[in-house]
Structure 1
Amino acid sequence: MTNADTSTSFIDQVSWNSDGLVPAIAQDFETGRVLMMAWMNRESLALTASEGYAVYWSRSRNKLWRKGESSGHLQQVREIRLDCDGDTVLLLVEQQGGIACHTGRASCFYNLLQDGEWKENQPVLRDPESIYEGKA
């Protein structure tokens, strides 16, 4: 993994959108399962590279968001990749606790289109209220 403290030139090679963000997909390092999609800004990408854990930019809270800071479900980053157009980041991660979604599921992509309707196709592994209870 690149150390962001010594070199951040990789950040300049990313095609940031007009808001200074890039989509970031988190994928399980071992299984290849797509876990979630979030946004990164320059600082969150640099922190992710230097710390080795996923840091995203929360558009709703307008601040950095360290994945797992409230839930304990950290994402240890094994590889950081950039797509051919330079406009999407892929994080290959070890998902701690087996839950990536704030709904208590393994993946945020739990809705499956069947017969013109979205149907949930993953179980809730842990009640979200118990994950976030007492945490703001």
Structure 2
Amino acid sequence: MLNDALPLSLVEESGTAVLTLVGSLRRQELLGSRLTRKEVSRHVLNMADALASLPNETRARLASLDFDGWTHIARGVRQRGGEGDETLWFAVSSLVPATLIWLRHYRKADPELFSWTPRGIRDLGTQEP
């Protein structure tokens, strides 16, 4: 599932970066820090874009992820001001951690989703001559 593994890896890496950057920052500290906010926003948008790129078949296998929520996050984070602030904080405090928890679950339950081996190569060893 090479095509699916790349976006899922990007989601995990960006989500971990968000949690690392935010650490124990409070809402006002994050929103008041221009550099941290910009970097956190970049990672949140990377997550949203990577999830949006997944095919419907993969989305169905990751049914517990909030794909609609991530679409809303992508739109909101790109806005300036009040709604963008609320959207970014919701992503950081709720959606990013929940997504990472679900991905950890799916990695154990369906490791093929995270495999870097293309489908055709994986099947070569099982074909009869």
TM-score over 0.5 for the pair? no
Select the structure that is richer in helix: 2
Rg larger in structure: 2
Q: From the two aligned structures, give the one with the greater strand fraction.
A: 1
TM-score, structure 1 normalization: 0.24
User: TM-score by structure 2 length?
Assistant: 0.25
Q: Which structure has the higher relative contact order (CA within 8 Å, separation 6+)?
A: 2
